[in-house]
Amino acid sequence: MTILVQIPPVLRYECGGARELAVAAATVRAALLQLKRDYPDLYRNVCDETGAVRRHVNLFVNNSFLYQRDGLDTELVSGDVLHIMPAVSGG
């Protein structure tokens, strides 16, 4: 199934300026691994070298936080949108 990954403006330069990417994946984890293969520079901004999503990055499936679903094992269906968002943090 194909889902869309929405790219925040600050990371679009890591994937040729794309605002969104179509990815074939059945789970969020599989979607991230697809990004790792196709857009490794983008992936490194989202996940660290252990595969963990960076502390100040939030992922949403449609309007749901991942932690409200099943984390990286959240299942995806065609037409879902995976949003990559910088968290509200700073100082």
Partner 1 sequence: MADRVVLCIGTKKGLFVAEGAKARGRFELRGPFGSGVAVYAALIDNRRSPRLYASSCNAFFGMKVLRSTDLGRKFKETKAAPTFPEGDGRALANIWSLETGGDSRDLLCGVEPASLFRSDNGGDSWEMVPGISQHQHSRDWQPGNGGLCLHTILRDGNRIHLGISTGGHYLSEDGGETFTAANQGVGAGFVPDPYPEFGQCVHKIAGHKDAPGRLYMQNHGGWAEWDGPGGPRPGIGVLRSDDHGKTWYSIADGLPSDFGFPIAVHPHNPDVVYVIPAEPMTRACPQGKPAVWRSENGGGKWKRLDRGMPKKDSYFTVLRDALTVDELKSPALYFGTTTGQLWIGRDGGEQWDCLFDSLPPIHCVKAAVV
Phi then psi dihedrals of residue 76, to 5 deg? -115, 150
Give yes or no for residue 49 binding partner 1 (CB under 8 A).
yes
Give yes or no for residue 45 binding partner 1 (CB under 8 A).
yes
d(CA 46, CA 11): 9
Give yes or no for residue 52 binding partner 1 (CB under 8 A).
yes
The only residue of 19, 24, 54, 79 in contact with partner 1, by rule CB under 8 A: 54
Give yes or no for residue 66 binding partner 1 (CB under 8 A).
no
d(CA 66, CA 1): 19
Q: Are 86 and 67 in contact (CB under 8 A)?
A: no
Q: Binding segment for partner 1 among 15-23, 38-46, 61-69, 71-79 (CB under 8 A)?
A: 38-46
Q: How far is the CB of 74 from partner 1 (least distance, A)?
A: 22
Q: Which of 84, 89, 87, 68 is nearest to 21 (CA)?
A: 84
Residues engaged in binding partner 1 (CB under 8 A): 10-11, 44-46, 48-50, 52, 54-57, 86-87, 89-90
